[in-house]
Amino acid sequence: MPGTRLSPFALDADDAARLDAIREAMVAPSTRRIGDLDRWGLADTYESYARAAVYREVQIVMADGTRIDAGLSVPRNLAPGQTCPAVVMPAPLNDLGRRAYLGMFPRWALGGYVVLAYSQRGLAESGGEIQVAGPQDMTDGLEVLDWLVRQEGVDADRIGFFGASYGAGTSILLAAKDPRVKAVAGSSAWGDLFASLFQNGTRHLAAFEALVNLFHEERCSKEFREVIEKIRNNVIDDDVREFARVRSPKEYLPEYNDTPILMTTYWHETIFSVPAVVDFFNRLQGPKSLLVQIGDHGNGELPGLLGLVSKPTEMAYRWLDHYLGGRAGSGATPNLGVRSEYMHNLLSELHHSTWEEYVLPKERFHLGAVPDGQADGHLAQGPAQPGWTRRLSATGQSTEVVVAPALIFTGNAERLGLPHIYKTATINRELVPIWTTAPLEQPMRIQGELELRVTVKPTAEAATIVAYLLDCDPATGNAAIITHAPYTLTSQAQDHGEATTVTFPLQPAHYVLRKGRQLQLIIDSHDPFFADANPVPSTIEISSPQGAESYLDIPLHPLP
């Protein structure tokens, strides 16, 4: 199984000590406690914060008696009747709960905001059971807003939400429930929870189990625990679908009206479906912005949550300033549309007004037979290449190529320009088929959406395949992953023993390739990231029949 150190907000000992010291300085801002922050160069920041705002920790009691743990910051020295914009921050999914946002309080407060951060039901110090952004969490959110608007200095007509991960989902869903939410910024957000759990008929089991571990299963509601067991046992019934449906922002599109929504995601996101985020973004009718960065879930915003600079949090400050009238950001007008980085250049920055403008046209590459004396089939443009068959052996073991050797942390290394290197030259072609392009004659870019069509004939009643597209150096056989997708063919979708043609999207990508590199398509039967349906041992035939020739559509174009 890939590494399970999942939390993008996990703190080392020094970060934990810093957070404790920040909290103490905010709760009781004495000269000594603020001075203790000088160890991290933060004394001036929190001295300025103490002059600007008063912080207190509160318990907000819900109608059913459940206590929600929260922290409230209010500007000092308000004139009689003076009101301020407010930002509400539901907690990300970790043991810190709402304390994960303490590093952001100074920017919000110095920008003139009332700030409320809270831990959702069942998280951290809040009571009750975890509902996973369900109806009870929405009811809690409305009651939290009722409580907030009764506090001194809050302008009830200028309330916005910011959240990361679980907090992003909670924030975006609440915006559909309450018109008092005037703008939202969500980092590492989701659009469709079911698509994030169950892609192309395949369970994202490793990510799901890691999320359950973060939730702490013993604190989950009975409904959620039942869903956990069903997903583990591959019982994807109406109850599971309904559980995911009511927690998916895409189900509430008409309720957003003109609510401005900023969302961020990642090219190598392993937790929430990127195509679902893009689909939700495209269907929003109000002001909207989408940031797609290098890396994986939570990588980009973590420095910003700690009080440092990050692109997602800087965008969030500008976004809420623009729509609420605060002063936390740079003062620049936020960009609408799509902003993106490309792999693996952290300094890259592209802007397009729409997703349709952003994506490049697909070019069709046909999968071909293995020429005599070679190890790989051709992946090439030009005429279709029918008539070949290749065998894929299901052994229950993955090759070295997997979605991510360590969830979250593989993506974080990509942000540092250190993508994981796969040695594809050593893969046994007798077990796993590979198709390779000719070396590129010039630098190229992949920018947009990809689609694979193959014909699958398993010896068993069901089968799972996992497709990977890699950037390979032909001189060394070393490769880096560009994108991937699984597909599970069930007994209901095929006649036993018959060949079935399947067409499915790969995760969108933005990747720059150097001259001389080759694209490699690998189709495997097992990746520990996914639950697969392959009996061991069994065989899957991959073929390209006349009239349904196999292809991979790639938005591959020369660099401008």
Q: What is the pLDDT of residues 276-300, one digit of tens each?
A: 999 999 999 999 999 999 999 999 9
Weakest mean pLDDT among 45-59, 71-85, 481-495? 481-495
Peptide bond into 260 cis (omega under 30): no
What letter does residue 39 receive in the DSSP assignment? Answer: G
Contact 542, 387 (CB under 8 A): no
Residue 414, φ and ψ in degrees, nearest 5: -60, -35
* 7, pLDDT greater than 80: no
The C-alpha atoms of residue 420 and residue 541 are separated, in whole angstroms, by 29
In one-letter notation, the amino acid at residue 544 is: S
The DSSP H or E segment spanning 506 is strand 500-513
Q: Give the per-residue pLDDT at 496.
A: 60
* 115, pLDDT greater than 80: yes
Banded model confidence at residue 4, pLDDT cuts 50, 70, 90: very low
The gap between the terminal CA atoms of the chain, to the nearest Å, is 40
Banded model confidence at residue 3, pLDDT cuts 50, 70, 90: very low
Weakest mean pLDDT among 182-196, 200-214, 435-449? 200-214
The DSSP H or E segment spanning 364 is strand 363-367
Q: What is the pLDDT of residues 230-254, one digit of tens each?
A: 999 999 999 999 999 999 999 999 9
Cβ neighbours of residue 334 closer than 8 Å, sequence gap 6 or more? 262, 289, 315, 318, 319, 322
Q: Which CATH architecture has domain 363-558?
A: Sandwich (2.60)
Weakest mean pLDDT among 116-125, 317-326, 334-343, 493-502? 493-502
| Tokens representing residue 437 in the block | 């392009």
Cβ neighbours of residue 110 closer than 8 Å, sequence gap 6 or more? 48, 49, 52, 327, 328
The C-alpha atoms of residue 436 and residue 439 are separated, in whole angstroms, by 9
Q: Give the per-residue pLDDT at 9.
A: 53
Mean pLDDT rounded to a whole number for the chain: 94
Q: What is the pLDDT of residues 11-61, one digit of tens each?
A: 788 988 999 999 999 999 999 999 999 999 999 999 999 999 999 999 999
Contact 527, 414 (CB under 8 A): no
Contact 404, 410 (CB under 8 A): yes
What letter does residue 166 receive in the DSSP assignment? Answer: H
Q: Give the per-residue pLDDT at 241.
A: 97
DSSP per-residue codes, 425-486:
GGS-TTTS-EEEPPPPSS-EEEEEEEEEEEEEEESSS-EEEEEEEEEE-TTT-EEEEEEEEE
Residue 84, φ and ψ in degrees, nearest 5: -135, 160
Q: Give the per-residue pLDDT at 135.
A: 98
The C-alpha atoms of residue 171 and residue 184 are separated, in whole angstroms, by 7
Residue 379, φ and ψ in degrees, nearest 5: -120, 105
The C-alpha atoms of residue 234 and residue 193 are separated, in whole angstroms, by 16
Angle at 178 between CA 176 and CA 181, to 5 degrees: 90
Residue 215, φ and ψ in degrees, nearest 5: -65, -25
| C-alpha closest to that of 465 among 558, 533, 553, 535 | 533
Q: Give the per-residue pLDDT at 493.
A: 57
Banded model confidence at residue 1, pLDDT cuts 50, 70, 90: very low
The C-alpha atoms of residue 552 and residue 381 are separated, in whole angstroms, by 10
| Tokens representing residue 123 in the block | 């998280």
Q: Give the per-residue pLDDT at 211.
A: 87
Domain boundaries, given as residue ranges, for the chain: 62-357, 363-558
The C-alpha atoms of residue 245 and residue 19 are separated, in whole angstroms, by 36
Residue 192, φ and ψ in degrees, nearest 5: -140, 110
Contact 467, 521 (CB under 8 A): yes
- Percent of all residues in the chain with a pLDDT value above 90, rounded to a whole number: 90
* 532, pLDDT greater than 50: yes
Contact 88, 320 (CB under 8 A): no
Query: Is the pTM of the predicted complex or chain greater than 0.75?
Result: yes
The C-alpha atoms of residue 210 and residue 406 are separated, in whole angstroms, by 11
Q: Give the per-residue pLDDT at 323.
A: 98
| C-alpha closest to that of 126 among 55, 65, 70 | 70
CB count in 10 Å sphere of residue 221 = 17
On whether the 62-357 domain is CATH 3.90.550.10, my answer is no
Banded model confidence at residue 214, pLDDT cuts 50, 70, 90: confident
